[in-house]
Amino acid sequence: MARVPQITSKDQVAPDKQHIVDAIAGSRGRVSGPFAVLLHSPEIADRVAHLGAYIRFESTLSGAERELAICTAARECDCQYVWSDHAPLALQEGVRQETINVVASRGALDSLTPDEALIVRFGRELFRDHHISEATFQSAQTRFGTQGVTELTATMGYYSLLACTLNAFEVIPQPGTPRMP
């Protein structure tokens, strides 16, 4: 159970902030997960949701690239909630099960395609070293372009924000959803 009550309907916020709940529910189908706790500060929830809508639905990254980046951020931040939501989405977007397993187990990148290994290595360096090596950055910029590497970084950063929120407030995933080891 989360450390604070979860806000899932607009009657739980001030009348002048109810449009924010409607917008979040409208873009995501419902209010849950990080937004159910972020709505304790409706303006933060609104601004986070706006960024998330771009990252999830409008980014220049392909669906598979985006979901692999999200899964990498979830694993590196040890966030079961993000993992449980996005590991199945990654598979739907074409990420191989073998790749998901390598990310989940923090395994070697040898069996990954060059693009998969690049995304996972980029995330591991970012979260573990708090720095991207010149070689990894140049490879990412060559592969994704300047806008793409910016969006890859922002995707991982955005999902680390959500992971921090979910982990701090102890929001747990639904029973029966995928878990990391």
Q: What is the pLDDT of residue 2?
A: 83
Same domain, 155 and 69: yes
Q: Which two tokens stand for residue 161?
A: 């924000």
Q: What is the pLDDT of residue 131?
A: 98
Same domain, 158 and 96: yes
Q: Print the domain residue range for 150.
A: 63-162
Return the number of other C-beta atoms located less than 10 Å from residue 131's C-beta. Answer: 10
Q: What is the pLDDT of residue 148?
A: 98
Same domain, 40 and 88: no
With a cut of 70, list the residues of the chain below it in pLDDT.
none
2 in a domain, yes or no? no
Closest residue by Cα to residue 22 from 1, 4, 38, 8? 8
Dist CA 181 CA 101 (whole Å): 10
At position 180, the amino acid (one-letter code) is M
Task: Give me the number of domains the chain comprises.
Answer: 2
What is this structure's pTM?
0.95
Same domain, 22 and 87: no
Which strand (E) or helix (H) includes residue 167? Answer: helix 134-168
Q: What is the pLDDT of residue 156?
A: 98
Q: What is the pLDDT of residue 1?
A: 73
